[in-house]
Structure 1
Amino acid sequence: MKGSISAVFVFYCLILVAILFLIGHRGDNGAGTVSIKEYLKWNMNLIPFKTIIGYTRFFINGSINESIIIENLLGNVLLFFPMGILLPCIFENLRRFNRFAVAMLISLVSVEILQLLTRSGICDIDDIILNFIGAVSAFGIWRLTVIQKLLSKIYVLNR
């Protein structure tokens, strides 16, 4: 059964690559025609909560469609949610929170840097925060005793 979880993980990673690097480049603001300095100006945010607060303000003012907020904020939370279940199921060393959290942070920072370097997305600290919240939330659910027992019964975990 661990092999099937690994197959799901590989499939999920392929979907992630497509979403993060191939489908609908969010950072396609003249990526091939502007200088790197100009590109960074419009496609990088290193100020925590700037994007989240911005979306909140736009929503309060009624100047943004709520589906855009849901897609960007909730979508970022849900995008890495499966990691919180799949990683500890597959990798025994990631069943401890500290190791899982460090692995996720390294992965998320790497994704944002790759999006910036490939000019295929926006490098945003808020994406890291929201993705991390999703992964950690799922990890918390995975750690629940009832979930552990259920997964053990279907032979997903090697305990």
Structure 2
Amino acid sequence: MVFLQPLFELIESKFGETINHFPLVELIFYSIDQTLFYFIFWLIGRGIVLGLKKKKKKPIKWRREVVLNLFIFYILLLIHLTVFRAENSINNVSIVMRPLSEINWIPFVETAKLTQGTTLFDYYYNLYGNIIWFIPMGFGAAYLMKRNHFVLRSLLIGIAVSVLIESLQFIFYTGVSDIDDVIFNTIGTIIGIGLFKISHWIYKKRQIGKPLEKE
């Protein structure tokens, strides 16, 4: 780790033996650390773009800019959590040739098997984790796409990212490619879009209810 190693070692020394499934905590720390590293390069590039915009006297929507940056950070974190996990990174993965039959194509079969484990943690994390992790996908995409057909476009983005993640897991052999993940990710995306629509409706109602300012 580059940024979070001291904090992780502190938490590991105090809670490593008491927290169940501590490897998940380690994965989150590792993923955030790697995301911060690549996000710095994004910010540098984005700063250059905004600087050019300012020179051309083009208006910058700062609220949208903040959401865009948070969305990019989220996407990078999501990819690291799902694809470049453990000791894997962009620098050391390699393509592994495998038959497509190794993909779990039949819905809900593997998820149902997780209910037969010694604990239900893997089942709950696979089901609810895949949904929750993609709620920001739907919300963020809907916010950034506030135009005609934004619901369909945001949904397609969520599905496309989910399929991309499953494909990368298969190509680099860093995870199990499962149709269930795409289904649960899509549900999460739909929930995120719904939350955006509700929040946007509330915002518009409040704006309408505000008294006009005197000039």
Query: Normalised by the size of structure 1, how large is the TM-score?
Result: 0.73
C-alpha distance in 1, partners of 2:148/2:76? 21
Q: How does 1:84-99 map to 2 (within 5 A)?
A: 84-93=138-147, 96-99=150-153
C-alpha distance in 2, partners of 1:151/1:86? 16
C-alpha distance in 1, partners of 2:173/2:167? 10
C-alpha distance in 1, partners of 2:180/2:125? 14
Correspondence 1:134 to 2:188: yes
Q: Is the 8 A contact 2:145 2:154 kept in 1?
A: no
Residue 45 (structure 1) shift? 0.3
Correspondence 1:148 to 2:200: yes
Which position in structure 1 is the counterpart of 2:104? 45
Residue 149 (structure 1) shift? 4.3
Supply the AA of the counterpart residue of 1:148.
H
Which structure has the larger Rg over C-alpha atoms?
2
SS at match of 1:123: coil
**Deviation beyond 4 Å, 4+ runs, structure 1:** 149-154
Residue 49 (structure 1) shift? 1.4
CA shift digits 1:110-151 (9 cap, x unpaired): 22112111111111000000111111111112112xx11455
SS at match of 1:88: helix
Q: Is the 8 A contact 1:87 1:94 kept in 2?
A: no
CA shift digits 1:63-98 (9 cap, x unpaired): 331222222211111111101110011123475332
Q: Where in structure 2 are there 5+ consecutive unaligned residues? A: 1-62, 88-92, 208-215
Instruction: Count matched residues.
Output: 138
RMSD: 2.7
Q: Is the 8 A contact 1:93 1:99 kept in 2?
A: no
Which position in structure 1 is the counterpart of 2:77? 15
Q: How does 1:45-84 map to 2 (within 5 A)?
A: 45-56=104-115, 58=116, 63-84=117-138
CA shift digits 1:24-43 (9 cap, x unpaired): 48xxxxx98x8724xx56x5
Q: 1:140 to 1:149 in 2, by over 3 A?
A: closer
The higher-RCO structure (CA 8 Å, 6+ apart) is 1
Q: Where in structure 1 are there 5+ consecutive unaligned residues? A: 26-30, 155-159
Q: Is the 8 A contact 1:2 1:90 kept in 2?
A: yes
Work out the percentage of aligned pairs sharing the same amino acid: 25
